[in-house]
Amino acid sequence: MNIPKDASAIILLKDDKVLLAQRNPKISFLGGWHAFSGGKLDKSDAEIEIKNCKDIDLQQFIVCAVRELFEEVGVLLVRNGDKLTKGQRASLHDDLISGRSSFKEILDHWGLWIDAADFAYTGYWTTPQFSPVRFKTRFFIATCPPKQEPYEAITEMQNLEFIEPNEALQRWENGDILISPPVLISLQELSSTDKHRWTQIENDSKTEDQRPKTVSQKLLEKSTELDGNIDYLEVNSRNIVFPLKTPTLPPATHTNCFIVGKKRFVVIDAASADESEQAKLHKLIDELIECGGVCEEIIVSHLHNDHHGGEVALQKYLQAKHNLNVAISAHKLTAESLSNIKFDKFIEDGDVYNLQDETGKTFQLQTLHTRGHARGLLSFYDEELGFLISTDNVVGTGTVVIAPPEGNMQDYLDTLERLKNLPNLKHLCGSHGSAIFNAKAKIEEYISHRLEREK
Ligand SMILES: [Zn+2]
C-alpha cells in the first residue's frame, strides 16, 4: 500500500498577492512545478506547543507549516519575531538547516512562540493513488509578517514571487506553469473572493451567517465535501488528465486518460475496463456536457491492453445518457490489431482536431503518428500551448518498452528526435505518471539513456 505521508503547506499572503515558488526541477516529485511553501511533518513538530490552538489535532501541522516556511523561504511566522534583525534570522536559519539547533530550541531561546490565531485552516488534500509518492497535506492561510521578504533559503524552491492570483491563473491557462489541484483551487478561490474576505472575519454588525464566506471557509468546505480527493488534474485550461486503474506494467498502476478541450473535446484512452473507474470518468464527462460541452471523438492511442477497455462503454454511455453518436478512432495499424473493437474512423499523421476551450475559443490539436513503441502509436500536440501528450513515448512513471515485432528501436529514436524538435514545446504528459515541466530536457534524457543502452 502506498500510504500518504503527513505534510503541511502555507498559502502566504501579502497585500493582495500570494506567494508562489517553483520547485527545483531536479526534485523527482513534481520538479519544476509551482507550489506554496510546505513539506513533510517531522516527529519534532509535535514537541512544540502553540498558543490559542482550538483544534489540538492541527497543532503539529501548524508547527510543520511554520518550520517549513522558515526552512524554505526564510520567513519566520512567529510572535515576538519582530525584535530579530534580518541578520539574526539568517543566522538562526543556518542553525536550523545545519542541525546545530532544533526549531524548538530556537523558539525557546529567543522567547518566540507560534499563535494559532495567525493561521486559518483551509482543509487537506491527498495526492491521488497513481502517484508513487503521496502526501496528505494540511493547508493554512497566513499573512506574511511585516518587514520580512521571502528568499531562496535552500535549493528546494526557486523563483519566489508574490503574485496576484489572477495573474498566476493566467500563466496556468497559457500553459506557462504547472500547478497541482490544491494550488489551482486555492488560486481560484482567492481570485473570486473579495480581498477583505481573504483572511480574518471582520468585526462587523452582521451575524455569522449573513457575512460572505472567507476564502478559508470556502476551501475548507470544498476539501470536506471531496474528502481531500481530486481524481484528475487540469494541466492547463485545455487538458484534463484522468488517471484510470489499468493492468499496466509496474511501477505504474494507472493509465492517463486525456480529455482535450471543454466546449468541444476528445477523449484519448478511456483505458479502464473496470466499471467503477469508468463511472468516475463518465461523471466528469457528464459535467463537461452539462456545461455545454460536446464530445467529438473517442481515440485509442495504440493497441496495448492498458490503453483500451473503456472506449466502447463510453460510446454506449454517451448514446444512452446524452443521445450522442460519438466515433471511436485509432490509427489503421492499431485498428487492424484490435478486431474486438469496432472503429468508426482512422487517424493519420498530421490530422488536426479543431477543439474549443471553456470560453468557446477554437484551438488545434495535431495528431502525430509516432512509431517505435508500437507501430500504430499516436501522440498529440497543442503547439499554441506547447503541450505534448506523449502517450507511451515518454512517461512520468516507469520505462518505455521497445520490443519487436511492434517495437523498433530506430523508429523510436527517430520519434524522440521529432518530438524533441516540436516548435514551442514546453510541457509534456505521458500515459503514466505526472506531467513533466521541461519536456525537451526529458526527451533528451530519454535519447541519451537509449543510446547509452544501445552501446
Ligand atoms: Zn504501450
CATH number of the domain encompassing residue 25: 3.90.79.10
Cα distances (angstroms) measured from residue 132 to each of 9, 437, 449: 20, 18, 22
Name the pTM for this structure.
0.92
Within this chain, do residues 247 and 185 fall inside the same structural domain, yes or no?
no
Joined together, the cell numbers standing for residue 21 give 515558488
Q: Are residues 241 and 170 in the same domain?
A: no
> Does any domain span residue 203?
no
In the structure, ligand 1 is a single-atom ion and the residues with CB under 5 Å from it are 304, 392
CA of 302 to the centre of ligand 1 (A): 7
Phi, psi angles (nearest 5°) of residue 450: -65, -45
Give the Å distances, CA to CA, from 355 to 5, 99, 281: 39, 54, 20
The residue type of 64 is C
**Strand pairing report for 5-14 and 135-143:** parallel
Q: CA-CA distance, 426 to 30, in Å (whole number)?
A: 15
Residue 421 Cα to ligand 1 middle (Å): 22
For residue 362, give its domain range: 233-454
Residue 130 and residue 262 in one domain: no
Residue 257 lies in a domain: yes
Number of domain units in the chain:
2
Q: pLDDT tens digits for the chain (455 residues)?
A: 689 999 999 999 999 999 999 999 888 888 999 999 999 999 999 999 999 998 888 999 999 999 999 999 999 999 999 999 999 999 999 999 999 999 999 999 999 999 999 999 999 999 988 888 899 999 999 999 999 999 999 988 999 999 999 999 999 999 999 999 999 999 999 999 888 778 764 444 555 666 778 899 999 999 999 999 988 999 999 999 999 999 888 888 899 999 999 999 999 999 999 999 999 999 999 999 999 999 999 999 999 999 999 999 999 999 999 999 999 999 999 999 999 999 999 999 999 999 999 999 999 999 999 999 999 999 999 999 999 999 999 998 888 989 989 999 999 999 999 999 999 999 999 999 999 999 999 999 999 999 988 78
If asked whether residues 311 and 440 sit together in one domain, one would say yes
Residue where a domain stops, chosen among 219, 241, 267: 219
Distances (CA, A) of 322 to 265, 278, 288: 15, 16, 12
pLDDT tens across 365-390, in order? 999 999 999 999 999 999 999 999 99
Site of grid cell 501522440: 379
Q: What is the DSSP string of 19-63?
A: EEEEEPTTSTTTTT-EE-EEEE--GGGGG---BT-S-GGGHHHHH
Span from the CA of 437 to the centroid of ligand 1 (angstroms): 22
